[in-house]
Structure formats: structure tokens, C-alpha cells
Amino acid sequence: PEEQSAPPQEYSIPPPVSQGKWKNKERVLIFSSRGINFRTRHLMQDLRTLMPHSKADTKMDRKDQLFVINEVCEMKNCNKCIFFEAKKKQDLYMWLSNTPQGPSAKFLVQNVHTLAELKMTGNCLRGSRPLLSFDPIFDKEPHYALLKELFIQIFSTPQYHPKSQPFVDHVFTFTITDERIWFRNYQIIEEDASLVEIGPRFVLNLIKIFQGSFGGPTLYENPHYQSPNMHRRLIKLSVAAKFREKQQVKEVQKIKKKGTKVLVEEDPTEVVFETPAEEKPVEIQLVKPESKPIVKDKKKLRKIQRKKQKKLFKTEG
């Protein structure tokens, strides 16, 4: 009898077991108000992809007050919030808040560049945990120390989060330059541990820090902050001042042209080297010049001469 071949053995690979429990259950709600442009929408989507512990919600109506966001976060089971507020379809403000107790900070967002816009060469794993790198100035000033703790709690992915990956392959950097916070995202390359920028990138200009969530007593107000309306007003005033200066120069030139010219006295030494020209004798013509027949057509002149010759021949004959 033929020997029956043994069935192939099946090996079942067990799923990876996490080494710990998900204790830090930070959830961040990222959404915006109505009226944002496409660049803000793409930036918001990039932050959602970079932060696996984030949640999304529909756009909030402009008529609603900001403290309503605390109720939205409670319904979404979120204890942190990043809210993008658009005004005049050109100014973008970002709120970072710890709901519902506070504190919260309001920033003006400038120089926004999204992932699709940068087209960087770097690439990182989706859902991986980032390293947070802070400027040394964050530990020197009290308001920067408060912002540092707020950034750590919002942007750091909790350990053993279900949607996160157990890898660290990119860095979030927060640098302070020119009284502003510069956000950058870099990938860590394994070969030589060098950094390559991925994006997105933006600049946060601090306006105020509040004790409560989206309101309350003001803990800190930036003295170096200048509103976009004031900035645009100063630009218009500078352009108007330049135009006014040009008009004044033109008026001064017109007055100079209309003014009486100053007569310079004659210098007697200028005529020293001038030699007078010889005077030509005056000729007086006594005889009247003969008048020449004005004939426009030469053919008519020839016909007149022929008629005169014919008359002469007839008289002689």
C-alpha cells in the first residue's frame, strides 16, 4: 500500500503582546471654525495624521461662543483641544487648551507650509511616536515653561496607544526666535542619525495665556505682539506717506518754475576777446529786374513759342 503523506504542519503566529498598559489616555480634539482656507484645512489634516491620539469634529459656527468648545470636548471624551479660528478670511488663530479646567493659550499662526506643499524627501511611519525637542529658553521664562508643559501634553503620543506604533523615527522641534515659536518636524535617519525635514511647518506668535479654558483671567500678554490689522494699517500709512511726499516735491518744483528769475549783471570782461566782423558795402539796385513769365507747364511754353514762329512765317510770306 502506498504510504500516505503527513499533512503539513500549520504554525500560528501569536499577535504581538504589549509590554504595558495604556495609562496616559490623552485625547486631543482638532477642529476649526467656518471660513478657513484650503491651507488651514490641509494643516489641520496633517496634524491629525501626525497625532494618532487626535479626534476630529465638524466645523464650529462663528456665532457660537468659544466656551461651547468645552462641551464639545466633553462629548468627544477629549481633555485637550487644538482649535483653529479664522477671521476676515486671511488671519488664522490657534487655540491650545486643557479642557475644561485650563489653562489655554491663543496664538497667531504665520508662514504655514503643509506636507503636500513642502514636498520634502523625508518620510516617517504613520502613527509613530515623536520626540519633542525644546529650545533652552523654554526653561528660563515662566510663561514659556507653562507653554512647554502644554505642548508636551498635547503633541506627545501616549505610550501604548492603540493607534500608535512602537517606533520613534521623527522629532517635533519648538524653537524660539524673534519672540515667536517655530514648529518643525524632522525624520531621524538610521544610518548616520541625521535629520531630514518632513513638514508641516508653521510659526506661532503668542498673544495671551488664559487661566481658564478659552477664557478667564489673563496670566500673560505678549508685549511684542502686533495685530494683523495694525500691521496692514501701518503698511497703508507708509504707502500714503510716500505718495504725499512725491506730491509735495512736485508742488515745490512748480513753484520754483513760476517764480521770478534772478537777473545776473553783465560782466564787462566778457566782450574783451570778441572781434567785430567786417561790414559789407551796401549795394543799391537802381534798375527794376525783368519779370520772368511764370509758366508751370513746359509744354504750354513750347506751344506758345511755335505759335509765335508760325505768325512770323506768315508775315514774311
72 within some domain: yes
20 within some domain: no
Per-residue pLDDT, 296? 62
CA–CA dist 176, 198 (Å, integer): 20
**Residue 190: pLDDT band by 50, 70, 90 thresholds?**
confident
How far from the centroid of its chain's Cα atoms is residue 8's Cα? 65
- Which range is least confidently modeled, 77-86, 119-128, 214-223? 119-128
Name which residue leads in pLDDT, 92 or 7.
92
The whole-chain average pLDDT of the chain stands at 85
| pLDDT per position as a tens digit, 52-70 | 999 999 888 877 888 889 8
Name which residue leads in pLDDT, 246 or 189.
246
Per-residue pLDDT, 10? 66
Q: Which domain holds residue 211?
A: 28-231
As a whole number, mean pLDDT of residues 221-243 equals 91
As a whole number, mean pLDDT of residues 168-180 equals 92
CA–CA dist 82, 32 (Å, integer): 8
> All 3 cell numbers of residue 146?
507653562
**Residue 219: pLDDT band by 50, 70, 90 thresholds?**
very high
Name which residue leads in pLDDT, 280 or 153.
153
CA angle 12, 15, 19 (to 5 degrees): 140
**Residue 1: pLDDT band by 50, 70, 90 thresholds?**
very low
CA–CA dist 249, 243 (Å, integer): 10
48 within some domain: yes
Q: For the chain, what's the residue count?
A: 317
Name which residue leads in pLDDT, 22 or 5.
22
5 within some domain: no
> All 3 cell numbers of residue 309?
514762329
User: CA gyration radius for the chain?
Assistant: 46
Residue 53's CATH number: 3.40.50.10480
Whether the predicted pLDDT of 12 surpasses 80: no
63 within some domain: yes
Report H helices in the chain.
38-50, 68-75, 115-118, 142-155, 228-258, 298-316
212 within some domain: yes
21 within some domain: no
What are the beta bridge partners of residue 247?
Answer: none
Per-residue pLDDT, 32? 92
Name which residue leads in pLDDT, 46 or 19.
46
Our count of domains for the chain comes to: 1
Whether the predicted pLDDT of 16 surpasses 60: no
Q: Are strands 128-134 and 180-188 parallel, antiparallel or unpaired?
A: unpaired
The type of residue at 53 is H
As a whole number, mean pLDDT of residues 88-103 equals 89
As a whole number, mean pLDDT of residues 299-309 equals 82
Whether the predicted pLDDT of 18 surpasses 70: no
22 within some domain: no
User: pTM here?
Assistant: 0.70
